[in-house]
Amino acid sequence: MENLWNKENVEQRYDLPFMDLLFQAQGVHREHFDPNQMQLSSLFSIKTGACPEDCKYCAQSGHFKTKLKKEKLLPFDFVLAQAKAAKAAGATRFCMGAAWRSPPKKDLPKVCEMIGAVKDLGLETCVTLGMLDVEATQALKDAGLDYYNHNLDTSPEYYKKIISTRTYQDRIDTLNRVHQAGIKTCCGGIVGMGESKDDRINFLLELSKLDTPPASIPINKLAPIEGTPLGETPPIDDFEIVRIIAVTRIMFPKSHVRLTAGRDTLSEAVQTLCFFAGANSIFFGEEGKLFASSNPESDQDHILFDKLGMTVEAVDVA
């Protein structure tokens, strides 16, 4: 598919007056999605802490002293119980995250077993396990994985200020392997790390250059974690969050755009603006250790959906 996006036409959208931008984004959104429907995902950390990567925003990194408790890969039965609870609370997708540079060969079969069991519950499955080689990618495909999450985080230029232990190309290579294996990609980034407007635009341009547009695009607001290098970063303006979601919706009309980490810092009104701008997926539920920041409780989310007359998108498990 030809990529129609370049720096100039993305910047033109980004710089539109706020109301015009939202009007355009809502129009695109309505062409491809029910504007009153939300996809609900639940995120659970199946292996926490001691990650060898040095991502400067992350409590999981073994390079920084944070309050996060380190854990080994959790037992199968415990993870499955969490998936059942997530489904009971309304989730249609269960996402499992592990703090690895790449999945160890001894643990990958255990994760594949979890994927199969979660899928048997009638949930969509997603994992984020770090970088993948061809063998690991195929093992996940054979297990029936629906989505693989691997974020680009930011622009290639700003990335070097955030992470040094893996390259931007490393991330792109993993995403392309996942796509080639026939697994859907979940790929987004983080805003509010001190990056410029140009960095945000270039990040979206990099997403548009992937072999296929991500099926799901999480937009995270930095949740500063004490003990990390970005722990005292001033918060980004809420309107900037809405703006980048709107531009993302316009550029990726058929992708789910997910309002993700940092959502707990947004008021109901700001979240609603994000939904109007094209965000139609969220992580919900109790505190998620992967982000080490809270998201609104699931009942609060359903209360907000009731106020807005929104319904939950049905699961589509192949």
pLDDT digits (tens, 9 = 90+) for 61-81: 656 676 666 778 899 999 999
Which helix (H) or strand (E) covers residue 42, if one does?
Answer: strand 37-47
User: Which residue in 93, 171, 186, 249 is the catalytic one?
Assistant: 186
Known catalytic membership, residue 126: yes
Read off the pLDDT of residues 42-59 as tens digits, 9 standing for 90 and up.
898 888 776 778 787 787
With 50 as the cut, is the pLDDT of residue 291 above it?
A: no
Q: What is the pLDDT of residue 124?
A: 94
- Choosing from 13, 93, 95, 200, the catalytic residue is 95
186 carries an active-site annotation: yes
Query: Which overall architecture, per CATH, does domain 7-29+37-306 show?
Result: Alpha-Beta Barrel (3.20)
Active site residue 95: yes
Active-site annotation holds for 187: no
User: Which one is catalytic: 13, 58, 112, 274?
Assistant: 58
User: DSSP class of residue 288?
Assistant: B
At residue 268, what is the residue type? E
d(CA 21, CA 35) in angstroms, rounded, equals 16
Helix (H, G, I), strand (E, B) or coil at 191: strand
Output the pLDDT for position 103. Answer: 87
Lowest-pLDDT choice from 17-31, 136-150, 208-222, 227-241: 227-241
Percentage of the chain exceeding pLDDT 90:
65
Q: Which long-range contacts (CB under 8 A, 24 or more apart) does 48-52 make?
A: 48/99, 48/289, 48/290, 49/99, 50/99, 51/99, 51/100, 51/101, 51/130, 52/101, 52/165
- pLDDT tens for 87-142 read 888 889 999 988 888 888 999 999 999 999 999 999 999 999 999 999 999 999 99
What mean pLDDT do residues 299-306 have?
A: 87
**Confidence (pTM):** 0.90
d(CA 242, CA 66): 30
Single-letter code of the amino acid located at 261: A
Averaged pLDDT for residues 270-287 = 86
Which residue would you say has higher pLDDT here, 297 or 202?
202
pLDDT winner (highest mean) among 195-204, 216-225, 258-267: 195-204
Answer whether residue 220 shows pLDDT above 50: yes
* Active-site option among 13, 51, 112, 187: 51
> What CA–CA distance (Å, rounded) separates 258 from 280?
6
Does the pLDDT of residue 290 top 60, yes or no?
no
Average pLDDT over the chain reads 88
Per residue in 222-245, pLDDT (tens digit) is 887 787 887 788 999 999 999 999
Domain coordinates in residue numbering, the chain? 7-29+37-306
The confidence score (pLDDT) of residue 64 equals: 64
Q: Is 112 designated active site?
A: no
User: Which comes out higher in pLDDT, residue 15 or 46?
Assistant: 15
Identity of the residue numbered 26: Q
Residue of 126, 166, 171, 243 marked catalytic:
126
Which position among 177, 249, 258, 263 bears the catalytic label? 258
